[in-house]
Each structure stands twice: as structure tokens, then as C-alpha cells.
Chain A
Amino acid sequence: EAQVTQNPRYLITVTGKKLTVTCSQNMNHEYMSWYRQDPGLGLRQIYYSMNVEVTDKGDVPEGYKVSRKEKRNFPLILESPSPNQTSLYFCASSPWDRIYEQYFGPGTRLTVT
């Protein structure tokens, strides 16, 4: 089954404790992206990747890091999480020729206390 998977689905952590949210897709898509969803704000792009070893900032990159060492994986790293990073996070992927038709993962709900 074609899908985007994220782990963990739920995470409660404390301020300053480094964490990684994994994202993996099995569709051989070139493009991958991370979004955060906050009430009343819709989805905002954090980082995106055009292909392996090619990443760039989205609209709200502060406090986040990403890497793309393999085509299928695009982990999101929070080096020192803060409460304002409490949010619902989505990973998405798409093929190069239909780049805007993005497939979304199920989401990761992160709470930072």
C-alpha cells in the first residue's frame, strides 16, 4: 500500500530534550515536506526537500532541523524543543511531475511542557 508513515504518532516531552520525528514514504517520491498545523492557522511549511541531500527552509523553520540522506526518509529534528513547538506535525511527499498533489502522513501530535 502506498503510504507516508510517521513515528511516533503522539509524543509528550519536556523543554530542551532533543527529539526526532521520523517520516518515511514508499512511493519513490522526490519531494518531501514538513508542515505544522495549529488551530486557526492552517498548515505552515517548516522545511522541504527536492531530493536526496537537497533541503530548504519553509515559512517557519526556526527551532527545527531536517536531513535527507535517503530518498524515502525525511526526519524532523527538534534540538531543544520549547512549548511553542507544541503542535500537530505532518509529513508529506509527492512525485516530481505532480509536486503539488501531496500525500500526507497521519500526523504526529507533539506536546512540549
Chain B
Amino acid sequence: AQSVTQLGSHVSVSEGALVLLRCNYSSSVPPYLFWYVQYPNQGLQLLLKYTSAATLVKGINGFEAEFKKSETSFHLTKPSAHMSDAAEYFCAVRGGTSYGKLTFGQGTILTVHP
């Protein structure tokens, strides 16, 4: 079965500091992995995706993530946080038994301090 664990329900950084949001997954099929972002009072939007091509993937707003099969991880990073990055971030893996299904992690709320 597919599952996603996001380490840390809240992460707080200063503006300009490195952002690191952790995601570990379990999958019975070759994983497709995603990061979605949810800004306050909005729906989720796709930030970036890994679908078995390059292991380092770049997304919108300067975010990137690296797929590490040996560690079953897909951590999200950004070199320099901006106030506008404050949001909730969800890691997701494609479902195994249900085509089209995404299994989401619990979410990580990112707070950026001035």
C-alpha cells in the first residue's frame, strides 16, 4: 500500500533562510511523487512532480525536490525563503490500486518570519 509521512507538522524559518520540508514514502509500485502547496483559504496547487525521469526536479517559485530511492525520500527545498512562501505543503504519492488516486501526507505548515 502507498503511504506518505511528512516529518514535522510545523516548520518555521526566517526570511532568506533555507527551507527544508521532509517527506518519506512507501510504495508497492514505482513511485510518482508530488508536492502540492495550499495557500490560506485556497485549494491545492501543484508545486512539482517526479515521474521517474530526473531525480532532481524543479518546480515553481524556486522550489526543488530530490528523489532518493535508497532513502525512500522526496524532500522539498528552497535556498532562500520568502514571506510569500508561508503556506501548507503536502507531499503525495500516486495510489497503487486506484488509477488516478493520490495518497497525501499529513501536511507541513511553513511559517516565514521577517
Contacts and interface: CB of A to CB of B under 8 A. Distances in A.
Interface of A: 4, 31, 33, 35, 40-45, 48, 50, 56, 58, 90, 92, 94, 99-107
Contacts, number: 63
Contacts of A50: 99-100
A105 to B, nearest CB: 5
Given A42-B106, A100-B94, A101-B49, A90 B44 contact: yes
8 closest A-B pairs by CB: A104-B43, A42-B104, A43-B104, A104-B44, A99-B100, A42-B106, A106-B43, A31-B100
Contact of A100 (B41, B45, B100, B107): B100
A12 B102 CA distance: 28
**Interface bracket on B:** 20 to 34
Given A104-B43, A105-B43, A40 B9 contact: yes
Interface of B: 4, 9, 32, 34, 36, 41-46, 49, 51, 90, 94-95, 98-102, 104-107
A101 B90 contact: no
